[in-house]
Amino acid sequence: MSDTYLELVSGGLPATIAKKLGLPRPVRLRRTDPDAVDRPLTPGPVLVLSDEAAADDADAVAEGLLGWDLDVHRTPRLGDHARWGAVVVVLTGLTHPAQLAAPALALAPALKQMAAGARIVTLSRTAPAPGATGDGDPAVAAARQGVDGFLRSLAKEMRTGATANGLVLAEDLQVGAPSVRGGLRFLLSARSAFVDGQLLPVAAGGAEPADWARPLEGVVAAVTGAARGIGAATARVLARDGAHVLGVDVPAAGESLAAVMNEVRGTALQLDITAPDAAGRILAAARERYGHLDVVVHNAGILRDKLLANMTADRFEGLLAVNIAAPLRMNETFAAPGTLGGQGAAPRIISLASTSGIAGNRGQTNYGAAKAGIIGMTRALAAPLAAAGGTANAVAPGFIETDMTASIPPVPREISRRGSSLQQGGQPVDVAEAIAFLASPQAGGINGQVLRVCGQLMVGQ
């Protein structure tokens, strides 16, 4: 689906007029070049700043970035015409909110010299859990929680496709841990183009891949709803990253499913996910073709929008059956010990939620219930999946340009597009990149979480 306004104002006279009138001026986002994945990782040099007590952590982060062949600086001085590709702000030493002022003010001048598609990434610590060491110190809790509001506000000030996100490290997790480096690399890269204004909690776990360009080499992934939209893009990105893909969709979409699976050299399985034996058939097809199944992406979903006052039973019940009851039933099989994972790959269940399941959306009581249900299901699966050495996470897209959103009337569609910090909708590939990241070994420290891919569209979590 195309965004005509974005195409129009992305250059020349229309861009100048839009600027004069104070209209939104979305730009084409920096996305991964399929022929040169992650090269270069950032669109310019990287500045590493820190709070006073986190200097050692900042040194370690800078050292790690040098290992990725980046041009790393520790002071905010650049030539007049140079532009920062990224700024990493290490805030792991904060014990009082007042200590945030120094790194924030050191960052300020750099913001005037950011490249298009640049990244800001904060590294901070999780607020102490009730009962944990330090949970009684309001200043520590305020400082750590303060990063949340700082980062979300900063993301709203970024321009030209630049984003600001953060990693929130579990207590005692080192900044050089594989899970931190994996999350940092994702947020710095073009893969996170439509992830904005978000803090992602990371714990220990996972491993750096042998090849960052193909982290899913040998992994077998099943994707439901793979015939079009986000599912088709996910199949392509997983295959690009090295995975074998089993694509599932309803028989009516058989032709497009076959086309996508031919393109990614995957396997097509025509199947309605509401069938009671759906999980067994997916598992059997994967094992027959590849010997094992490692990753399941619950992507298939439908919309049946109506105000609740006008809602019919078939719209409410039919939506719940596809969007939440089917993944729940399938997970009785997939989450059972010994089902997913084989030949070194860890079990991963990744489910499609939606920002409608977090912030709510008019006309979507059924959809909101199902998608919030996906988040509840994901949190409950985290412990059993961890016990099997795996993870369960959800991805919550905001407004993504697909056939599904093309059915939304023009005015709310336009409002959804321009309402994000990036002033545009996302592309299916943006969601696919987040799914592929959560499937990768370097995301092994992220479990039970919801990763939004919404360009900071919504207020709230």
What residues are labeled active site? 367
Task: Write the DSSP assignment of 163-214 as a string of letters.
Answer: EEEEEEEPTT--TTSHHHHHHHHHHHSGGGTT--SEEEEE-S-----S-TT-
Q: Residue 394 burial (CB < 10 Å; 0-12/13-18/19+)?
A: buried
Candidates 119, 144, 228, 418: give the one binding ligand NAD (CB under 6 A): 228
CB of 182 to ligand NAD, least distance (A): 24
Q: Which residues pair with 218 in a beta bridge?
A: none
The interface region with ligand NAD, picked from 84-92, 95-103, 246-254, 443-451 by CB under 6 A, is 246-254
Choose which of 23, 116, 250, 388 interacts with ligand NAD (CB under 6 A): 250
Residue type for position 17: I
| Residue 238 binding ligand NAD, by CB under 6 A | no
DSSP strand pairing (244-249 vs 267-270)? parallel
CB of 90 or CB of 396, closer to ligand NAD: 396
Segment interacting with ligand NAD (CB under 6 A) among 21-29, 117-125, 194-202, 396-404: 396-404
Provide the minimum distance between the beta carbon of 267 and ligand NAD in the complex, in angstroms, as a whole number: 15
Binding of residue 200 to ligand NAD (CB under 6 A): no
Identify which range of 72-80, 89-97, 398-406, 443-451 contacts ligand NAD by CB under 6 A.
Answer: 398-406
Q: Considering beta carbons, is residue 167 or 283 the nearer one to ligand NAD? A: 283
Q: Which residues pair with 48 in a beta bridge?
A: 88
How far is the first Cα of the chain from the last one, in angstroms, to the nearest whole number?
A: 28
Q: How far apart are CA 273 and CA 248, in angstroms?
A: 8
Amino acid at 130: P
Q: Which of 291, 293, 245, 254 shows the shortest CA–CA distance to 272?
A: 254
Q: Draw the binding track, 302-331, toward ligand NAD (x: CB under 6 A; -: no contact).
A: x-------------------x---------
Task: Reply yes or no: is the peptide bond before residue 40 cis, omega within 30 of 0.
Answer: yes
Task: Examine residue 236 and tell whether it contacts ligand NAD (CB under 6 A).
Answer: no
Alpha-carbon Rg for the chain, nearest whole angstrom, is 22
Q: Does 219 bind ligand NAD (CB under 6 A)?
A: no
Where does residue 9 fall: left (phi above 0), alpha (psi -120 to 50 degrees), or beta otherwise?
alpha
Residues touching ligand NAD: how many (CB under 6 A)?
Answer: 27
> Contacting ligand NAD (CB under 6 A), which of 180, 268, 273, 394?
273
Stretch that binds ligand NAD, among 118-126, 176-184, 202-210, 221-229 (CB under 6 A): 221-229
In angstroms, give the least distance from the CB of 238 to ligand NAD: 15
Which window, 48-56, 143-151, 167-175, 297-305, contacts ligand NAD (CB under 6 A)?
297-305
| Binding residue for ligand NAD, selected from 99, 163, 189, 224, defined by CB under 6 A | 224
Neighbours of 212 (CB within 10 A): 17
Say if residues 299 and 402 touch (Cβ distance below 8 Å): no
Both structure tokens of 226:
């793979």
Rule CB under 6 A: which residues touch ligand NAD?
224-225, 227-231, 249-250, 253, 272-274, 299-302, 322, 352, 354, 397, 399-400, 402-405
